[in-house]
């Protein structure tokens, strides 16, 4: 079959640096660098031009391979290649991928990209929008395609306007009309009905009156332009109904204790059916367990009634979806007759509760369903719900079984305390007989349910849009299955095919329409309707015929730069209809390039197997078909590779020394070179101790932390090279104890004279002569090898041997052309490598192992990428190493698919969404196959979930948290691995007026297959909205119905900017601002404050303020104490977060605190005791000195008689007492031990005995006393000044 195709890999275009192509890429006919734009990824491979915007449709096209009139589909290998190319990416700097760099300016897509968009749009069945470029819009045409429509069963809210969606695209833009109940619906005649502009969506407006029920019926939309007519599904419009509960008067239900009971709900019929739940009349939920539970029909079942069941009444509630209303039935009241009239709660936990209460035990019997057998029909893909509710005393247990097999563990789950069995996503193998077994200690009973699985039609092969060139052949296939088997009806432009004008180029063969030698007049839109008694499927597929001369899709005169000796591919993307042929020329002359060093692929790409200098030049590609030709040019520049020719070497050094690591690089001078260093594979920070130069790295003052591996990384725009060395830092050692140790040490000299002997098929003996050890014994020898097939010039470690040997037997792998060298190692470092040995090639053999790390993962929803770690040269064992990749659906008996691959990945296309596959990858070379590989399980790609969680229930836990509960989505709607359920919620408004709130969306994740969760950290007293989605590895699914809820009032946050000021020592001023988050209606503020002084704390005082008061003044009780204030705001719920501040400290508080604190310290008490003891000792010394002076005679100065009270000795002298030496009243002791006069009006003369006081020239007082004798005056010869204790202290000082 011939068809329109856009040929050429749109890659390496416009100021592009072409990556170095891996040899494995070209070996598999790969384009190593597919074109990538900001908003479009266009890739040509196996004859189809694709865009990243919609890979899903890639598999729908049929590719033109031949010009003969024969039909052919893409092979699975070709379609896998399409998917593989999407995963390919240009390798950017720093990405960690090997290979050079692809650069491209991100500009507005040029015209050729729009044209490529259009072609892809035509080939992918309308999945890509036509570009808005006017020239494209005016030139190319498209039949209509339905892009959006309402669901088949469309239930609407009677309170809202009705919308019936229908949108389509096409060129020219389509027009729309509708039918209602299979008759033309004249929109213009009904004033309430309008159609949206540039759309077919109907809007029925009831603002001016009208009954929505009048518009119920079956609607169908027709989108038409001059190339055909597309149809929507038949949309059944129904208006939601929530009828009122009929009024009824219910008598109390009288029942004997232990008897079974059923309370019937019988809700009014609604559309959709209401959700049923039981509560008491006080709106408390009825506690359910295996004895009391609600059935699927809404009735409440008691397996046996107990006395405590009378403690509440029972009301059935119905919640209607659209109106969000709950209707409550009049409550049932129970009256339980019992032999034990007292409701003794202690009997509830009695091991034999029933007999203790006098209730007779009995065997189970079924309350629902009745009898011993029943049947049930279920549709494929829906959920099967089986239910068994039994009565009995004690309460029976329910168990489920399937006759002739086990329950499907991956789909079956038990609900309602094991009374219900739910099997999700039912398929034909779930049909059969199930039975439930009810048992207690009195016996058991069983009920058998016969399940029949029917199926509405489902697609096996949905018809896809078909785009052909004039004269080509094609086919539309419409294949579906169901039970009973569906019938297929073909239509064209909305009319039965039988009544359409005859077309000699069209032939109908059951579910297939075959087109031969199509012409422009064959364009039309075909409908396939397949139906049975359980439903129908309707699909549109257009046939378009395009006649286009060749066009080039890439910019002209591209510059491509490649590295010498690498393989590269020159792409020339183009399209045309019929399919053009492409030829390549070099420098505008010569014959077509193909053969030798050149190879032209089917898609037109030119591969140059090994780039040489002479390959540089201008290459021209010419595309030709019967309508004309087009050409483009590519300029190829060949650059020298980047190589490190002097690599850093392993070194061993001591701390504190200086180390230099060399790294000399050779590169193409026209490319910018960047040299960077890594330490332990992380970017190296160049600090003060390091110096980085163009060809070396120097480390000054080496420390232990400098030990590690150092990598020199040299890169240009196109390629890179790296070399690694290890630096070992030794700790300081003691002074050498022998003469040899004192000699300078160095790295050993290189080994020499390598010789190969004992040549065998898998081994060889290598002998060498050691070099000088340079005063440090050789500890190890490292033998390295190089092979010239997979990685020529790259040396690998082979084995390591002790320093005491110079000959070793090396074990070899088959089919490797070995060359060896030896490196000697001592404590200083490594020697230079020895000169290479002669080469030795081993004979080949089949591989003995298979590649490792085999994986299968989807990169798109309809593919699976199989990857593995390729085998290296030593495990290839032979030439032309390749891999046999096999895969098949898991747990099926289908045959293995297989393909031979030369790289390390393969993409399987046309896979269902997220299904398991068995994968095997086996190595093979020219000598044979490797061992049988292990089977690995992989999965095809995931798609976005198709369903949202339903029946989302919200229960407010407190002012900041809610509890969520939802129904699990069907597993087939997840379309991948269920990662989590996710709730998106946002704060719509606050219940406080004029309070601005942020409506930023937040999310809460509930990992795994959970059915409930808690959302916390909400704002109290606010209106919220919430939506839920299912999340798999691809992303979010559709959003659930938006739920609204309101959080109750909470406690406020702390008052803002609480300030404490102390203008003086009498008052303290307090000021504050309202809380940032009131979280409700503020009713006031609470202030608690307490005075404290050091460790003493006063009584706490509490003040309450109105919500508008933000100031308060405190009268201080004393000027010394400080105050601690605690302020909080209050709502009806309670006090919120408090803020605490303290008043400033008075200036003398430090002293006061010190005094209060020191007085209680043990060390201070000890110090005072020591001082007191010292003073006592000084007093004793003073008395001793005075007693040595004896009696002191005083010269008579005046004839003054002594008083009778004056002490007197017989010899006429005075004896000085302690009181004589005390300071006079009103005086203080000076620092030199004398008595100083204070400010006083008293004269010192008054303190004498009537005599006059005398003063020295310096004004100091001289205390002299006189005595009258009968015969003579005696003048004392000693000082009259007494030695006082104070003087004694200062004399000692």
- Alpha helix ranges (H) inside 792-911: 873-876
Note the pLDDT tens digit of each residue in 1221-1251.
444 344 443 434 433 344 434 433 343 434 4
pLDDT over 50 at 1028, yes or no: yes
User: Would you place residue 1214 in the very low, low, confident or very high pLDDT band (cuts 50, 70, 90)?
Assistant: very low
Note the pLDDT tens digit of each residue in 1139-1183.
999 988 766 544 444 444 555 567 788 888 999 999 999 999 988
Q: In this structure, are residues 609 and 597 in contact, taking their beta carbons and an 8 Å threshold?
A: yes
Report in angstroms the alpha-carbon separations of 288 from 225, 232, 293, 836. Answer: 61, 47, 5, 84
pLDDT over 90 at 822, yes or no: yes
Residue 132: the pLDDT is 45
Residue 142: the pLDDT is 85
Region 65-69 average pLDDT: 30
User: Would you place residue 877 in the very low, low, confident or very high pLDDT band (cuts 50, 70, 90)?
Assistant: confident
What lies within 8 Å, CB to CB, of 612 at 6+ separation is 564, 565, 597, 638
Q: From CA 421, how far away is CA 431, in angstroms rounded?
A: 14
Residue 398: the pLDDT is 94
Residue 1157: the pLDDT is 53
User: Would you place residue 672 in the very low, low, confident or very high pLDDT band (cuts 50, 70, 90)?
Assistant: very high
List the beta bridge partners of residue 466.
543
pLDDT over 60 at 18, yes or no: no
Max intra-chain CA distance, the chain: 182
pTM for the whole thing?
0.47
Residue 1165 phi, psi dihedral angles, 5° rounding: -60, -40
Report in angstroms the alpha-carbon separations of 1162 from 114, 845, 1024. Answer: 93, 94, 64
Q: From CA 96, how far away is CA 93, in angstroms rounded?
A: 8
Reading the block at residue 194, the tokens are 């309008």
Q: In this structure, are residues 1020 and 995 in contact, taking their beta carbons and an 8 Å threshold?
A: no
User: Would you place residue 735 in the very low, low, confident or very high pLDDT band (cuts 50, 70, 90)?
Assistant: very low
In angstroms, what is the C-alpha Rg of the chain? 51
Note the pLDDT tens digit of each residue in 885-932.
999 988 777 889 999 998 999 999 988 889 999 999 999 998 899 999
pLDDT over 60 at 631, yes or no: yes
List the beta bridge partners of residue 480.
459
Residue 815: the pLDDT is 87
Q: From CA 817, how far away is CA 841, in angstroms rounded?
A: 4
pLDDT over 80 at 62, yes or no: no
Residue 10: the pLDDT is 35
Tokens 């200083």 sit on residue: 828
Q: What is the mean pLDDT of the chain?
A: 79
Reading the block at residue 321, the tokens are 């979806």
Is the model more confident about 39 or about 350?
Answer: 350
Q: In this structure, are residues 436 and 386 in contact, taking their beta carbons and an 8 Å threshold?
A: yes
Q: In this structure, are residues 570 and 554 in contact, taking their beta carbons and an 8 Å threshold?
A: no
Least confident of 396-410, 533-547, 1225-1239: 1225-1239
Region 974-1003 average pLDDT: 91
Reading the block at residue 445, the tokens are 């009973």
pLDDT over 70 at 118, yes or no: no
Least confident of 100-104, 547-551, 959-963, 964-968: 100-104
Least confident of 105-114, 629-638, 1069-1078: 105-114
Residue 293 phi, psi dihedral angles, 5° rounding: -155, 160
Residue 688: the pLDDT is 84
Percent of the residues in the chain that have a pLDDT greater than 70, as a whole number: 78
Residue 1160: the pLDDT is 59
Residue 84: the pLDDT is 42
Region 409-423 average pLDDT: 93
Note the pLDDT tens digit of each residue in 1044-1060.
999 999 999 999 999 99
Residue 891: the pLDDT is 79
Q: In this structure, are residues 797 and 782 in contact, taking their beta carbons and an 8 Å threshold?
A: yes
In angstroms, how far is the first alpha carbon of the chain from the final one? 127
Which range of 23-37, 527-541, 727-741 scores highest in mean pLDDT? It is: 527-541
Region 436-444 average pLDDT: 93
Q: From CA 382, how far away is CA 220, in angstroms rounded?
A: 26
Region 539-558 average pLDDT: 87
Note the pLDDT tens digit of each residue in 305-347.
999 888 899 999 999 887 778 888 889 999 999 877 655 555 5
Helical axes 1162-1189 vs 1285-1292, angle rounded to 10° = 110
Q: From CA 565, how far away is CA 638, in angstroms rounded?
A: 9
Q: From CA 39, how far away is CA 25, in angstroms rounded?
A: 25
What lies within 8 Å, CB to CB, of 565 at 6+ separation is 610, 611, 612, 641
Residue 1148: the pLDDT is 55
Note the pLDDT tens digit of each residue in 352-377.
677 767 788 899 999 999 999 999 99
Is the model more confident about 349 or about 127?
Answer: 349
Residue 1188: the pLDDT is 66
pLDDT over 50 at 816, yes or no: yes
Q: In this structure, are residues 465 and 4 in contact, taking their beta carbons and an 8 Å threshold?
A: no
Reading the block at residue 899, the tokens are 């393909």
pLDDT over 80 at 1201, yes or no: no
Report in angstroms the alpha-carbon separations of 918 from 22, 79, 1013. Answer: 28, 19, 36
Note the pLDDT tens digit of each residue in 1268-1283.
333 344 344 343 334 4
Residue 181: the pLDDT is 94
Note the pLDDT tens digit of each residue in 995-1025.
888 889 999 999 988 899 999 999 999 999 9
User: Would you place residue 350 in the very low, low, confident or very high pLDDT band (cuts 50, 70, 90)?
Assistant: low
Q: Are strands 535-545 and 466-468 parallel, antiparallel or unpaired?
A: parallel
Is the model more confident about 1197 or about 693?
Answer: 693
């Amino acid at each position: 079959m011939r068809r329109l195709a856009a040929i050429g890999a749109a890659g390496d275009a416009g100021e592009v640096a072409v990556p170095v192509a891996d040899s494995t890429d070209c070996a598999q006919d790969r384009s190593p660098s597919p074109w990538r734009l900001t908003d479009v990824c266009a890739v040509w491979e196996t004859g189809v031009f694709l865009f990243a915007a919609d890979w899903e449709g890639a598999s729908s096209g049929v590719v033109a391979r031949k010009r003969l009139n024969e039909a052919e589909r893409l092979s699975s290998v070709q379609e896998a290649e399409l998917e593989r190319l999407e995963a390919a990416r240009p390798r950017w700097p720093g990405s960690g991928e090997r290979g050079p760099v692809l650069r491209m300016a991100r500009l507005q897509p040029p015209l050729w990209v729009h044209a490529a968009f259009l072609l892809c749009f035509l080939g992918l069945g309308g999945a890509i929008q036509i570009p808005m470029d006017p020239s494209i819009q005016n030139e190319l045409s498209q039949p209509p395609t339905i892009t959006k429509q309402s669901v088949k069963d469309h239930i609407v809210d009677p309170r809202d306007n009705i919308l019936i969606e229908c949108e389509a695209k096409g060129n020219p833009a389509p027009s729309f009309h509708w039918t209602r109940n299979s008759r033309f619906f004249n929109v213009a005649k009904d004033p309430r009905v309008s159609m949206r502009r540039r759309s077919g969506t109907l809007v029925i407006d009831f603002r001016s009156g009208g009954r929505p029920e009048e518009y119920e019926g079956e609607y169908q939309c027709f989108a038409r332009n001059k190339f055909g007519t597309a149809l929507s599904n038949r949309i059944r419009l129904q208006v939601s109904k929530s009828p009122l509960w009929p009024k009824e008067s219910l008598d109390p239900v009288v029942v004997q204790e232990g008897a079974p009971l059923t309370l019937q709900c019988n809700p009014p019929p609604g559309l959709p059916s209401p959700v049923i739940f039981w509560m008491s009349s006080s709106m408390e939920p009825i506690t359910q367990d295996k004895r009391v539970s609600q059935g699927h029909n809404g009735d409440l079942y008691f397996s046996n009634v107990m006395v405590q069941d009378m403690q509440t009444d029972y009301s059935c509630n119905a919640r209607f979806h659209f109106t969000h209303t709950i209707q409550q039935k009049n409550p049932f009241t129970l009256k339980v007759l019992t032999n034990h009239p007292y409701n003794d709660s202690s009997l509830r936990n009695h091991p034999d509760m029933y007999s203790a209460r006098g209730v007779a035990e009995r065997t189970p019997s079924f309350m629902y369903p009745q009898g011993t057998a029943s049947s049930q029909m279920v549709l494929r893909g829906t959920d099967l719900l089986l239910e068994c509710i039994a009565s009995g005393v004690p309460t029976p247990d329910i168990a489920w079984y399937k006759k002739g097999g086990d329950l499907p563990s991956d789909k079956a789950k038990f609900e309602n305390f094991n009374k219900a069995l739910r099997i999700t996503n039912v398929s034909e193998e779930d049909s059969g007989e199930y039975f439930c077994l009810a048992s207690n200690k009195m016996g058991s009973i069983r009920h058998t349910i016969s399940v029949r699985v029917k199926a509405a039609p489902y697609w096996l092969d949905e018809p896809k849009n078909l785009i052909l060139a004039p004269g080509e052949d094609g086919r539309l296939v419409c294949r579906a299955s169901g039970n009973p088997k569906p019938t297929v009806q073909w239509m064209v432009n909305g009319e039965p095919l039988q009544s359409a004008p005859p077309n000699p180029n069209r032939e109908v063969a059951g579910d297939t329409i075959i087109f031969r030698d199509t012409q422009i007049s064959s364009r039309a839109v075909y409908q396939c309707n397949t139906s049975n008694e359980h439903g129908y499927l309707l699909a549109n597929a257009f046939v378009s015929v395009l006649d286009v001369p060749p066009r080039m899709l890439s910019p002209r005169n591209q510059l491509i730069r490649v590295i010498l000796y690498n393989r590269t591919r020159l792409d020339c993307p183009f399209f045309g209809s019929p399919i053009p042929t492409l030829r390549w020329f070099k420098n505008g002359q010569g014959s077509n390039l193909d053969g030798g060093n050149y190879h032209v692929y089917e898609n037109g790409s030119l591969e140059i197997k090994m780039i040489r200098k002479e390959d540089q030049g201008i290459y021209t590609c010419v595309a030709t078909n019967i309508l004309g030709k087009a050409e483009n040019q590519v300029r190829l520049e060949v650059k020298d590779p980047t190589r490190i020719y002097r690599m850093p070497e392993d070194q061993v050094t001591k701390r504190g020394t200086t180390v230099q690591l060399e790294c000399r690089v050779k590169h193409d001078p026209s490319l910018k070179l960047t040299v960077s260093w890594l330490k332990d594979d992380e970017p190296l920070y160049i600090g003060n101790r390091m110096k980085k130069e163009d060809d070396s790295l120097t480390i000054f003052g080496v420390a232990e932390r400098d030990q590690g591996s150092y990598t020199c990384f040299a890169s240009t725009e196109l390629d890179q090279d790296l070399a690694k060395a290890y630096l070992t830092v030794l700790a300081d050692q003691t002074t050498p104890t022998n003469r040899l140790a004192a000699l300078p040490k160095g790295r050993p000299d290189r080994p020499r004279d390598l010789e190969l002997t004992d040549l065998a098929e898998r081994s060889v003996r290598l002998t060498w002569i050691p070099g000088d050890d340079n005063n440090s014994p050789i500890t190890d020898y490292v033998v390295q090898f190089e092979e010239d097939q997979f990685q020529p010039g790259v040396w690998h470690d082979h084995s390591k041997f002790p320093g005491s040997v110079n000959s070793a037997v090396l074990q070899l792998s088959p089919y490797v052309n070995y060359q060896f060298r030896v490196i000697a190692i001592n404590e200083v470092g490594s020697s230079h490598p020895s000169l290479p040995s002669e080469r030795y090639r081993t004979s080949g053999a089949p591989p003995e192992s298979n590649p490792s790390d085999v994986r299968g993962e989807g990169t798109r929803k309809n593919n699976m990428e199989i990857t593995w770690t390729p085998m290296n040269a030593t495990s290839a064992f032979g030439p032309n190493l390749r891999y046999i990749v096999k895969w098949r659906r898991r747990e099926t008996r289908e045959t293995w698919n297989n393909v031979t691959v030369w790289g390390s990945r393969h993409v399987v296309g046309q896979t269902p969404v997220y299904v398991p596959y068995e994968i095997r990858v086996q190595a093979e070379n020219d000598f044979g196959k490797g061992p049988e590989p292990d089977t690995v399980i992989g999965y095809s790609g995931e798609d976005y979930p198709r369903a949202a969680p339903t029946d989302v229930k919200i229960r407010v836990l407190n002012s900041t948290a809610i509890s969520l509960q939802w129904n699990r989505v069907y597993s087939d709607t997840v379309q991948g691995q269920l990662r989590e359920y996710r709730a998106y919620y946002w704060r719509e408004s606050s219940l406080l007026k004029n309070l601005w709130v942020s409506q930023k969306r937040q999310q809460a994740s509930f990992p795994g297959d959970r059915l409930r969760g808690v959302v916390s950290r909400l704002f109290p007293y606010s209106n919220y909205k919430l939506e839920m989605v299912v999340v798999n590895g691809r992303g979010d699914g559709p959003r659930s119905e938006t739920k609204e809820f309101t959080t109750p009032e909470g406690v406020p946050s702390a008052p803002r900017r609480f300030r404490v000021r102390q203008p003086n020592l009498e008052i303290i001023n307090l000021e504050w601002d309202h809380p940032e988050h009131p979280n409700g209606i503020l009713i006031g503020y609470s202030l608690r404050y307490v005075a404290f002084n050091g460790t003493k704390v006063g009584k706490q005082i509490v003040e309450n303020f109105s919500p508008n008061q933000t100031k308060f003044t405190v009268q201080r009780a004393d000027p010394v104490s400080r105050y601690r204030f605690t302020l909080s705001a209050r709502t009806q719920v309670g006090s919120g977060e408090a803020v605490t501040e303290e008043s400033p400290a008075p200036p003398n508080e430090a002293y006061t605190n010190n005094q209060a604190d020191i007085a209680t310290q043990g060390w201070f008490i000890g110090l005072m005791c020591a001082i007191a003891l010292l003073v006592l000792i000084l007093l004793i010394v003073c008395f001793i000195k005075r007693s040595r002076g004896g009696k002191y005679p005083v010269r008579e100065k005046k004839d003054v008689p002594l008083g009778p009270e004056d002490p007197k000795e017989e010899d006429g002298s005075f004896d000085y007492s302690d009181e004589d030496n005390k300071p006079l009243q009103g005086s203080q002791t000076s620092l030199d031990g004398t008595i100083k006069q204070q400010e006083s009006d008293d004269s010192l003369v008054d303190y004498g005995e009537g005599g006059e006081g005398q003063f020295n020239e310096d004004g100091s007082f001289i205390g002299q006393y006189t005595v009258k004798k009968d015969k003579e005056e005696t003048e004392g010869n000693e000082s009259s000044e007494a030695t006082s204790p104070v003087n004694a202290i200062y004399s000692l000082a």
